[in-house]
Amino acid sequence: SSRPPRPAGLPRRPLARRAGGPRPSRGAMVIKTDLCAYTEYRIYPGRGQRFVAKDGKTSFFISSKADALFHQRIKAVKLRWTQAWRRMNKKGKADEQAKKRTRKAQKFQKAIVGMSLDDIKKKKAMKPELRAQAKEAAAKEAKARQATKVKVAPKGGAKAAPKQQAKGQKMPKAAGGGAPKAGKDFKGKK
């Protein structure tokens, strides 16, 4: 079996590689993939349907199912098998779980009624013995004020008694006094 002579200008055919031999080292093969406009799945070459709307906007769908759902205006977020639903419901992102840490509530002080923030800080800084002394002094001062009030009250005489009654309890209402209430008995324009 003799071969016909090879024409002069043509390159030699590569030798056939042995079945078990090593593969020639090349980079990984890059395949151009698109994303489905509805499901966000990868679409490999030879798959999918392209839809061109009247305004010229093109959409590429992975299947006729995705195309049909898109045209029925069913939101991808409402379907559990779409990437949009998974993103909305925080599924499949284990990396973020490690990054998340619970933050401790930071303590901070606010001024309260009758005391500024500086006064509160001074009180906290004071030693317990000094604080106890200050408390006693304040109690004595309050007692002294009460004593002066009791001394002033008898001078008023009859005027002081009704005021105390008004503070302590309600005055009884007059039986028929006051304006009539709107209701069944009210006769007039409504």
The percentage of residues in the chain with a pLDDT greater than 90, rounded to a whole number, is: 36
Q: Is the pLDDT of residue 168 over 60?
A: no
Give the residue with greater pLDDT, 37 vs 17.
37
Q: What tens digit of pLDDT does each residue of 53-64 get?
A: 999 999 999 999
CA pair distance 79, 66, nearest whole angstrom: 11
The whole model's pTM is what? Answer: 0.38
Helix extents (H) in 19-127 = 64-71, 83-88, 94-99, 117-125
CA pair distance 63, 49, nearest whole angstrom: 7
The per-residue pLDDT of the chain, averaged, comes to 78
Q: Which residues of 115-151 are buried (b: 16+ CB within 10 A; e: fewer)?
A: eeeeeeeeeeeeeeeeeeeeeeeeeeeeeeeeeeeee
Q: Is the pLDDT of residue 185 over 70?
A: no
pLDDT at site 128? 79
pLDDT at site 106? 80
* H or E segment to which residue 36 belongs: none
Site of tokens 């619970």: 102
